Amino acid sequence: MKALILCLMFYSSFVFANIREVVYVESPTDTDKDGKLDLIYVSIDRASNAKNQHVIYKNSPYAEGGNQVDFYSTDVDLLPQDEAFDGKSESKMTANSLIKEVKAEAYQGFADVYAHSLGTGKSTGCPSVGDISETLAAKAVIDWLNGRAKAFDSSGKEVKADWASGNVGMIGVSYNGTLPTMVATTGVEGLKAIVPIAAISNWYNYYRANGLVVNPGGYEGEDADVLGRYIVRKRACENELQNITKLMGREHGDFNKFWQDRNYLPQAKNIKAAVFIAHGQSDWNVKQKHAVDLWNALSADTPKRMFLHSGGHSYPSDRGFRNNVQKWFDHYVKGELNDINDKPAVRVNTVNENRVMEQESWPHENTFKQVIPLGLNDIHKVVDIGADKRLEVLTQAPTQKNSERVILLSDKLEADTLFSGTVKVNLMLSVLNRAAANITVAIVKYSGSSRGTIMTRGWADPQNYRNLSEGELLTRGVKYNLSFEIEPKQFKLRKGERLGVLLTSTDNKYTLRPSTGTELEFFLGDDSSIELFGSESVSNLIERND
């Protein structure tokens, strides 16, 4: 009897033991131009004897950490797009490391497949920071799982994925979450569901904003080439990285072919996979615009959900989220029936409340569009001091005259008011003494009369008042009509609180910081306005003085 029990235990462990193996998937790319197709390192954890196993696939450029990198200095004498910029103000400063979010989650009932992104870790080739080469290399793993691509073991022997069903789900956070979106835009057969968390949908909006060079929150001076140098496999791809520096246009901030090649929104209509977006309302690294833009770009036929949680640049701490992801994969990858789609498609944790709202749409269906003039018909002169003061300091004492900014306040709200969606700003302005300037707008909550809380903010380059592709040197004193969107959020203001709009130049934390002294004029009243979505009417956004 004892021998029989031992035999059954041995048999059980044999049947249910996992196989861990490593293969190198052949990519259709040759990014290091060595005459050989790039190979993608893939580790696999799967049940030993099972066939038709469904897969959760994760791909990361951070699998083996990163290199020491230099950041650009964000303190400059003049903005680089100014006609007088001599190129001497931009230097580099050393940083020990660039920390990025890597999250490994296991999901029940799936084989786990984990790849090193193109040109990183143990994969060959060169990282291109988000273009089609990285997309095709990541896609090749799904092709291999479906018998459409080759893979080899360490000895060079070809390996088949004869254990795989071909049905794949992808998930990740940050760059790891961007790769699922990239792959999904190819419409690859077999990719059934993705969960992009804190993910980029358009790299221009990560390192630029409406013509300006901006910082990802927490990484001042990072740019596409800095990230490339951080993730690249050791001592490789110098020419390719130099090409990124050459093409990314840090000297002007315009939208060009480099950024078009890294914009996934035009291809979102090709996505066949079910898309479950998650993003933090407090994420100022990958800003929430990336999630909202992807949501809006998806085809009406694409199954989709979105969770905008209260956290920052991270996997949501919400206890139910992981459960819902499991259900998402169970339903769309395995084909199981469950209740994942029984509730409204959008869940939002408002910025300033610890409460999740369930809603049918984004913006919230109970809000309506309002166009509100900014101020009376007058002119406000502002002198830029953003190199010395953070925007949070400029929100203080809103009713006092201050040459460093303009603050316009609503009447006290007559009821609790929900604000949802994207605020559009229309400004008539001039720059008096320079050929370039930063423009920063913030939406601020005022509960009292002294200090405000920034709900959202955004930035723009008046040189790009016509379009993002080509900025124009500003003629001093000439009026320009500048329209742009700031970062989307959902937040509440209570009865008796005021909505504030702050206008200034440099945002110390996010824009480049030129020396103080840039002089601007804002022409308010009929010439300037904001468009927002609110559940109650907002009126009289004007300057108020003690």
List the catalytic residues. 174, 283, 313
Give the DSSP letter of residue 474.
P
Residue 346: what are its φ and ψ, rounded to 5°? Answer: -120, 130
User: Which residues does 188 contact at the CB level (< 8 Å), separation at least 6?
Assistant: 139, 142, 143
For 198-241, the three-class secondary structure string (H helix, E strand, C coil) is CCCCECHHHHEECCEEECCCCCCCCCHHHHHHHHCCCCCCHHHH
Neighbours of 157 (CB within 10 A): 9
E strands present in 174-300: 191-197, 208-209, 212-213, 274-280
Count Cβ atoms within 10 A of the Cβ of residue 6 and give its class: 0-12 exposed, 13-18 middle, 19 or more buried.
Answer: exposed
Q: Is 79 helix (H, G, I), strand (E, B) or coil?
A: coil
Neighbours of 165 (CB within 10 A): 19
The closest of 424, 434, 437 to 501, measured between CA atoms, is 424
E strands present in 432-497: 439-446, 453-460, 480-485, 489-493
CA dihedral 516, 521, 522, 524 (to 10 degrees): 150
Count Cβ atoms within 10 A of the Cβ of residue 264 and give its class: 0-12 exposed, 13-18 middle, 19 or more buried.
Answer: buried
**In the structure encoding, which two tokens stand for residue 414, read together?**
């007559």
* Dist CA 394 CA 502 (whole Å): 8
Residue 204: what are its φ and ψ, rounded to 5°? Answer: -60, -40
Neighbours of 127 (CB within 10 A): 29
- List helix spans (H) across 124-203: 132-145, 175-184
* Cβ atoms of 499 and 483 closer than 8 Å: no
* Dist CA 252 CA 208 (whole Å): 10
Q: Is 146 helix (H, G, I), strand (E, B) or coil?
A: coil
CA 513 to chain centre: 23
